[in-house]
Amino acid sequence: MNTINVAVLGATGTVGQKFITLLEGHPYFKVAEVVASPRSAGKRYDEATNWKQDNFIPTDVANLVVKSTDDALESKILFSGMDASVAGEIEEKYAAAGHIIISNARNHRMNPVVPLAIPEINHDHLNAIKTQPWKGGIITNSNCSTMFLAMVLAPLHKAFGIDFLHVTTMQAISGAGYPGVASMDILGNVVPFIGGEEEKMEIEAQKILGSFDGEKIISADFKVSAQCNRVPVFDGHTETLSIKFKKSATPEEVKEVLRNFRGFAQEKNLPSAPAQPIIVFEEENRPQPARDVWKGNGMATCVGRIRKCPLNDVKMVIMGHNTVRGAAGAAILNAEAIVEMGLV
């Protein structure tokens, strides 16, 4: 396969930088265009960007001249790390012009013809881009906190049926972008509120686990109650769950289902897919973000403390890398899936 040129929208921001970092040396894709607000346009990428990643800027990207979101683009596939305040309109404009937008923004997630896709779970939803009103298409991935939740719920829903669940999150600061959370607000502190997060967590998983009827995606029928907190962790969202199944299940049955879970991404061996999408820990105090966030190159969902809940079927702790599996890496995996499926 020849390498496919791609563009990164919102290339100077935190998610954009993560796209560029994760796409370095990618077997399918090559970053050929970097696109940002008109304010940055015309500058060389390394001059326009306050680079916050641990690696150095890949040399070939550093030397690209930043394009404006007003410009026409050459790449077919556009990775969008744009802020939700502008992403909606610009993504639609490029989709209308024939591009396929792989978006991390929330704007189109709940549109019933837009896949909210996770290639381990619902790769068939990706076919919905053929029914979209644009010449090109838009594909989204979930909110970072929903990602790990959906990943765990998917095989359990299939096996036992989800009835309802409670989730409390302890989310990393990198989830708020840069500059994001002020250090005076979070050092040695917990902030028990993240704007808009609970609302997203209470509806997105149902769409991900829903079905595509050839025309639109219909959400699965279960209820989620979410409570979201920010904690002083750099990368890695931790979540405690209590789940009620439609058909009761023991902790051991749940563990087995999670351990054995594999999806389309693993079957097709997509480049960014973790060999084992869900890692189940037996240690009583794992997973932990500072220890486990890079498991599966940041693409695995870590699960631990699966045990009986006095009120529902099981309690457990889940954790994953919010800016890799929960954002840029999820989008890249979606792009790999549509290549594999011949949708681009």
200 interacts with a second copy by CB under 8 A? no
> Is residue 343 a contact point for a second copy (CB under 8 A)?
no
Residue 108 is a catalytic residue: no
Catalytic residue among 99, 144, 228, 321: 144
Q: Are 325 and 300 in contact (CB under 8 A)?
A: yes
Cβ of residue 75: shortest distance to a second copy, in angstroms?
A: 29
Residue 284 CB partners (closer than 8 Å, separation 6+): 304, 305
**Least distance to a second copy, CB of residue 308, Å:** 10
* By CB under 8 A, residue 125 contacts a second copy: no
**Tokens representing residue 73 in the block:** 């683009």
Within 10 angstroms of residue 332's Cβ, the number of other Cβ atoms is: 26
Q: Does 234 bind a second copy (CB under 8 A)?
A: yes
Stretch that binds a second copy, among 27-35, 122-130, 142-150, 282-290 (CB under 8 A): 282-290
Q: Considering CB under 8 A, how many residues would be counted as binding a second copy?
A: 57
- Looking up tokens 């959400």, which residue turns up? 219
Pick the binder of a second copy from 58, 112, 161, 232 (CB under 8 A). Answer: 232
C-alpha span between 79 and 92 (Å, rounded): 13
* Footprint on residues 286-305 left by a second copy (CB under 8 A): 286-292, 294, 304-305
CA distance 163 to 265: 27
Q: Is 250 in the site for a second copy (CB under 8 A)?
A: no
Three-state SS letters, 271-308:
CCCCCCCEEECCCCCCCCHHHHCCHHHHCCEEEEEEEE
Q: Is 188 in the site for a second copy (CB under 8 A)?
A: yes
Q: Quick check: is 144 catalytic?
A: yes
Residues 99-133: b if buried by 16+ CB within 10 A, e if exposed: bbbbbbbbbbbebbbbbbbbbbbbbebbebbeebe
- Please report, as ranges, the residues that interact with a second copy according to CB under 8 A: 52, 54, 164, 166, 168, 170, 173-174, 178-193, 202, 223-225, 227, 229, 231-234, 236, 238, 240, 242, 284-292, 294, 304-305, 309-312, 315, 317, 319
Catalytic (active-site) positions: 144, 237
